[in-house]
Structures are given as C-alpha cells and as structure tokens.
A and B are shown apart, each in its own frame.
Chain A
Amino acid sequence: MLGLPANETRFLADAEQIAAAIPDGALVALPPDYSMPAMAVVRALIRRRARGLRLLGVPVLGLCADLLIGAGCVAEVESSAVSLGEAGPAPRFTEAAEKGLVRVRDSTCPMVHSALQAAEKGVPFMPLSGVIGSDLLARRADWKVIEDPFGADRLVVARAITPEVALFHARWADAAGNVWVGRRRELATIAHASRACYVTFEERRERDMLEDELLAPGVISSVYVTAAAPAPRGAWPLGVPDCYAMDDAHLARYAQAARTQEGFRRYLDEFVLNAVAA
C-alpha cells in the first residue's frame, strides 16, 4: 500500500481553482447534505465540464451528487443512498440510474465508514457484523465473508477505500492550513483516508486553531489538507451550523425543477452556469 502525503497546505484563490485541481475520472469522497458539501466547488466542477467522476457518498449523498450527475460529470456513484431528504428523491440520480447512465455501487452506511477507517489506519480491510443475507453482498467484489479468526461466527470485511480526493466545506481555516468542521467528524474520516483533500472555508482565522483547547477537537489538522480556498456561503443552499441554515425553499424548488431534464437545464442556467451564489 502506497503512503499518503503529509501536506503543507496550499491556499488557492477560490472554488474555481479547487475545481481545476480535481482531475476528470477521480474518485471523490463527498459528505451528506447535512455535513457541509463544498457546493461552490460542485458548481465550479459543472462549469469546467468535469467528466467521469466517481463519487463516494460518506455515507449518503444528496444535492451535490444530483447536480453533478444531472450535468453529466459522473460515471459512477458508490453510496448507501442518494436522496434530497425531506425534499424527496434525487431526481437526476434516479433517472440516470434507471436509464443506466451512471454505474451505481450500492453500499450500506457502516460499510462505507469501515472501508474508510481501514484506509485511515493503513490496514487492508475492516470487519463489520450483520450484512450477510443482504443482496448487497453479491454485487460487491470488494466485500468478503470471513470466519471470525477468534470464534465461529461469520463476518463481512470491506476492502479499504482510499479516495483520490476528499472535498468539503469548513467553517474556518487558519493560517497554518488547519480547518475547523466541529462535530462533523465524517469529514475528518474522509480527509484522513484520501490521497488529496480540498477544502473551501467560510472565514479565515489567523491564530493556529490547534493552539486553542476549545477549537482543537473540531479541527482537521493541516497534515491532511492539500489545499484550501475561501468560499463565503460556500455550502449554500445547504447549511453551516450557527452560520446559515439549509435553504429548504431552494431545495424544494430544485427538487421540483429537476424532475425533468429541461427543468434541470433551466436550474443550471440560473444558479450554476450564469450565477455564482445567492
């Protein structure tokens, strides 16, 4: 297994520069809608006409995946689910999956976490209980049933997943390149497990956050952060806790518009291709 880099964080100008750094075809780990997806970068990826991306939902996906799929940026989705939550099904994902326009690798939440935790620890696989008897197993060559070496039970093991890119938004970045995500620790997991980690942030802090006992537990150390760029309201229309709330009305509007390819195109024209953010 190849080693992962110890980074010295680069600061980039904006979300466009991060989108330019993410290569076509990359395996990109993304968080759920409640966990600060880097929406400004998602829009920039669509503007730069990214192609062949493979998305990994940690452990599920929402709006960011639906936008990228609808815009033709995605070849494959591995996730435990893709949905817009209260706004309903993810319409572009649903249609693309039904028409076979994207490959879907169905997973289940704790298996995604386990496979990433294996990568975090640098071990080849991680066991999980349950799952045996689910039809998910037959579709996953990277999951195997083993016998517990210390007992008689059967267990599933997931091969480690090392994403090429982790991408998310953070509340703060400091001058050292540390980023603060608070309790959203699945972001730490994908940052730890991935070869490269790109982060947009709301605001810059000068003081090293790892020197602050109250902030440090919510920090992802710069050792994991390849590059960071400012993006005020960069998670919009999703939320950043205590900063701005998820824009439910906008999500409902998207869910309605994206029911058809034409409606989705109009949405892209208005909110992605010709506009930066609200």
Chain B
Amino acid sequence: MSYAPEELLACAIARMVEGAAHAAVGAASPIPAAGCLLARARDGARPRVSLLHRRRGNPFSEGSRELFDLAGQGRIDVFFLGGAQIDGEANINLVEAGGRRFPGSFGSAFMYFAAKRTILFREEHTRRVLVPRVEFVSAPGCPAPQVPRRGGPQALLTGRALFAWDADRRRFRLQSVHPGHSAEEVREHTGFDYDAPAAVPVTPEPSAEELALLRGPVAALVAENYPGFARRVWG
C-alpha cells in the first residue's frame, strides 16, 4: 500500500508515544500531532493529547502558561522539539546559525528539562542541520550538576532515519533507517558521530490499519489546526 513520507513519520511517532499518559504538542508540529492522535486512535484512550495551538476546543483554559505549569509539575510525559541545528549531544539550536536568524527558542529551554521525555523531530536530515556542535544552545541535551531535570531526549526522528538516545553514553544510536534510505546514506548526511549496529533495521512501514486511522479521524483533527499541511498530505 503506498503512503506519504509524512505518514511513515507519524507512524514512527505513534509507536514511541504508545502507552504514555499525556503527550503535548507545541507550535507548527503537524507530524508529531498526527503521530500522537494516531496512537490515541489505536489505543482508544491513551495518550491524552494536548495540542497547544488547537484553534477550537483548546485543552488549556489558563492561557499559554498552563502547558508549562503542567510540565513543571510532571504532568507531561512526552513533548516534541525541533532545531535549526541539532548536535550529537542532543543540544538544539532554534535561534541562529551561519548568519541566519530562526524564529527563536519557544519553550524549549524549560520543556526539555520538565517533560518526562522529549522526541526530537526534524524532517531535513543534512549536515546543515545535524552538526557536530550547535552554534547556539537553545536547550541542552545533557544534565548538569545541581540542575533538577525530570527528563531529556528519547529519540531523534528525521526524514531519513530514527536514532535512539543513549543517556549513559551521551550519544545517539542509529535505530532504523526509513524504507528507501540506507545506513551509508545516513552516515554521509549526518554531521555528528553516533553508534550503529552492524545491521541496521528498516523503519516499519505503516500498516493498512494505521493508514486508515491516519486518513480518517486523525486527518480530520489535524486539518482543523494545520489546514495547509492536511491539504498537502491528504488532499
């Protein structure tokens, strides 16, 4: 069954958030939103999905600070962050790189500490994005002494591959490459060093059941909040 690359990524996210109690999705993140909603549709109940920018029926009634207050209390299990640059120590840069200005750090400098786990997500998988060392640390990947940190990176998902984060070694480990891509290609386009098994598995393709849910109830919810994305992927 044919599928869009965005659908493969949403399915990969759904598998990672499966069983979590509460997943929150921040600004401009239609694929993480679709992934979380897919996990919820499959399970029937979990995770609770809080879309920060939901236009109607927004989950928060105390304004935009409520997400951060929830996270500060430990009520957010999974959050998503991206980066103009991401490095091999899971630091992210959302501010500036190579003389170019990016929108800014959003809530990352707090959420990366407060959410129980964070999935890093960036479709572009190039040496421009995945760098040896970020030029500006919006939010650090690794813990520091005397700084309470509830969580940190869980994985890095890109348009080519999925990396798992090894907190003890402070390194990424290549977990799978997406269909149509290879481990060599991933190495060639990644600017930081990482661990990899001798034989790298392929990211599972979406099942017929997953695609049906994505294109049905999930697409309808995503379209309310990301109309441009929904039109592009689902017509």
Spell out A's residues near B (CB within 8 Å): 32, 34-35, 58-60, 79-83, 85-87, 89-90, 93-94, 97-98, 104, 106-111, 113, 117, 128-136, 147, 152-154, 183-189, 239, 241-242, 245-246, 248, 252
Contacts and interface: CB of A to CB of B under 8 A. Distances in A.
B147 A153 contact: yes
B110 A108 contact: yes
Which of B53, B56, B104, B147 has the largest count of A CB atoms less than 10 A from its CB? B104
B110 A109 contact: yes
B165 to A, nearest CB: 16
Interface in B131-186: 136-140, 142, 144, 146-149
B27 A81 contact: yes
B203 interface: no
Given A34-B55, A186-B65, 15 more contacts: A60-B103, A80-B106, A81-B104, A81-B106, A89-B102, A98-B100, A107-B105, A110-B68, A113-B68, A130-B111, A134-B138, A134-B139, A185-B62, A185-B65, A241-B56
Contacts of A80: 104-107
Contacts of B147: 130, 132-133, 153-154
Nearest to A137: B109
Which of B53, B55, B105, B137 has the most chain A CB atoms closer than 10 A to its own CB?
Answer: B105
A237 B99 CA distance: 31
Interface in B62-114: 62-66, 68, 72, 94-95, 99-114
B226 interface: yes
B107 A86 contact: no
Secondary structure dominating the interface of B: loop
B194 interface: no
Given A110-B68, A113-B65, A131 B136 contact: no
Given A83-B27, A86-B228, A109 B106 contact: yes
B11 to A, nearest CB: 22
Most buried by A among B27, B65, B136: B65
A81 B107 CA distance: 9
Contact of A60 (B62, B106, B110): B106
Nearest to B58: A183
Contacts of B60: 183
A185 B63 contact: yes
A152 B101 CA distance: 37
Contacts of A154: 146-147
3 shortest interchain CB distances as A-B pairs:
A185-B63, A81-B104, A130-B113
A184 B142 CA distance: 34
16 contacts: A59-B107, A86-B30, A98-B101, A106-B95, A106-B104, A130-B110, A130-B112, A132-B144, A133-B140, A135-B137, A147-B146, A153-B146, A183-B62, A185-B61, A186-B65, A252-B228
B163 to A, nearest CB: 21
Q: Which of A87, A97, A135 has the most CB of B within 10 A?
A: A135
A34 B55 CA distance: 7
A248 B113 CA distance: 34
Contacts of A189: 63, 65
Interface centre among A110, A113, A117, by most B CB within 10 Å? A110
B105 A106 contact: yes
B5 to A, nearest CB: 18
A171 to B, nearest CB: 14
B110 A245 contact: no
A74 B109 CA distance: 26
B227 interface: yes
A248 B65 contact: no
B64 A248 contact: no
